[in-house]
Amino acid sequence: MQQKRNDTGELNFHLLKCLVALVDHSHVSRAADAVSISQPAMSRAMSQLRAVTNDPILVKGGSGLIPTAKAVQLREFADRILQEMDRLLGNAVAFDPRAAKYEFRMVVSDYIECIFMERLLRHLGAEFPGIGVSVRHPVHPSQFTKVLESGEVDFAIGILPSTLRDLRHRPLLKDRIVCAARAGHRAADKQLSIEEFAALEHLVIMPNTVNCFGEFVDVALEKYDVRRNQRYVTPNYLTAPQLVGNSDMVAILPELLFTRFRSHSDLIEIQMPIEVPPVDVYLSWHDRTHRHAAHMWFREQVMKSLEPNQEQSFTARSTGRENSVRA
């Protein structure tokens, strides 16, 4: 049904509802009651419909008003459009995770995939058999917002950079930064100076993300005008424990990852001569999906997977309140 514009207004869903009511009831007051508007409002709607359709809609008959043939025909189209819109809106608003088949796409580092995704999948379990999760490893910082805005991915988990002002986020967990080395390392149980610490052979993890854990250490060292001795650079967190466990290198790791690999790779923690605060890890998404029922449900499942009654407990967890931006 083609929409037309004129001086009295335009054909819209309100007018379509009024058209259906007028044809069904052939009476202005009863049609007004049917759509819960006043009689004058229905009279105005009928005037607009007459102007848009170039048809009187209702004409005098033997026992009152009757709909015109064109109005009856238009009513069929209008009712079809309204039913389709109700169906579309119903599907958009309602989300039954037990019956739905839906895949959520996420950007995460291999560190997050290792320590968190197992928990999330265990939480989803068999209760939501149609819910799937796919991950891709971090994109370049310049593309971070773009992939969320375009719908290429739905969520990102990681350290939230202060430059991203157009994303919504939710604190997920805190992680402490530690320096890992193999058992028996020459720096074990020593009080290292800043210069001695920087001079160690460092395995440096530089994933394709905006921020990483090692950068917080580098920022702290810059105050003393020293830099880490980079012996090996990798984009991967998960290769670091084995490489460190079989060499004299040390690596800056998130504690949750260090704890998971500590016994397997025979790692110890080297005391750093600098103070580095714990790091917040966030769940981030774009405003375009903020009120999407499926995405609202999934965000809640992410947070529920972190609740204390889960099998594994993280060292600390943030408040979990959603925020529109982080300055």
How confident is the model over 194-231, as pLDDT tens digits? 999 999 999 999 887 656 899 999 999 999 999 999 99
Q: Are the CB atoms for 42 and 18 separated by under 8 Å?
A: yes
pLDDT over 60 (residue 315): no
Chain segment 9-48, per-residue pLDDT in tens: 577 889 999 999 999 999 999 999 888 899 999 999 999 9
Cβ atoms of residues 283 and 299 within 8 Å: yes
- Whole-number pLDDT of residue 301: 94
Q: What are 240-273's pLDDT values in tens digits?
A: 999 999 999 999 999 999 999 998 889 999 999 9
Are 283 and 160 in contact by the 8 Å Cβ rule? The answer is no
Confidence of residue 70 (pLDDT cuts 50, 70, 90): very high
Instruction: Give the whole-angstrom CA distance, residue 180 versus residue 188.
Output: 10
Q: Which of 10-19, 90-99, 151-160, 227-236 has the lowest mean pLDDT?
A: 90-99
Report pTM.
0.68
Fold of 177-270: D-Maltodextrin-Binding Protein; domain 2 (3.40.190)
Section 127-146 average pLDDT: 84
What percent of the chain is modeled with pLDDT above 90? 61
Confidence of residue 143 (pLDDT cuts 50, 70, 90): confident
Report, as an integer, the average pLDDT of 82-98.
76
In this structure, which amino acid lies at residue 78? A
Lowest mean pLDDT, pick from 68-77, 110-119, 142-151? 142-151
Q: CATH code for 5-93?
A: 1.10.10.10
Please compute the mean of the pLDDT values over residues 54-74 and round it to a whole number: 90
Number of Cβ within a 10 Å radius of residue 28:
19
Mean pLDDT computed over every residue of the chain = 86
Of the two residues 182 and 60, the one the predictor is more confident about is 182
- State residue 305's pLDDT score: 92
| 102-173+281-304 and 177-270 in the same fold | yes
CB 138 within 8 A of CB 211: no
Which pLDDT does position 149 carry in this prediction?
Answer: 85
Task: Please check the confidence at residue 324 and state whether its pLDDT lies above 60.
Answer: no
What is residue 145's predicted lDDT score, i.e. its pLDDT?
Answer: 80
Question: CA geometry: angle at 109 spanning 104 and 113, to 5°?
Answer: 65
The stretch 184-198 carries a mean pLDDT of: 96
Question: What's the CATH code, domain 102-173+281-304?
Answer: 3.40.190.10
How large a percentage of the chain has pLDDT more than 70?
86
**Does residue 254 contact residue 213 with C-beta atoms inside 8 Å?**
yes
* Mean pLDDT, range 56-62, rounded to an integer: 88
CA–CA dist 282, 325 (Å, integer): 12
Give the pLDDT confidence score for residue 88 in this predicted structure.
Answer: 72
Of 42-46, 132-136, 138-142, 225-229, the poorest mean pLDDT is in 138-142
In the chain, what are the domain boundaries?
5-93, 102-173+281-304, 177-270
Q: Is the pLDDT of residue 193 over 90?
A: yes
7 — pLDDT class (breaks 50, 70, 90): very low
Question: What's the mean pLDDT in 2-15?
Answer: 60
Site of tokens 């207004």 = 9
Q: Are 175 and 277 in contact (CB under 8 A)?
A: no
pLDDT of residue 95: 84
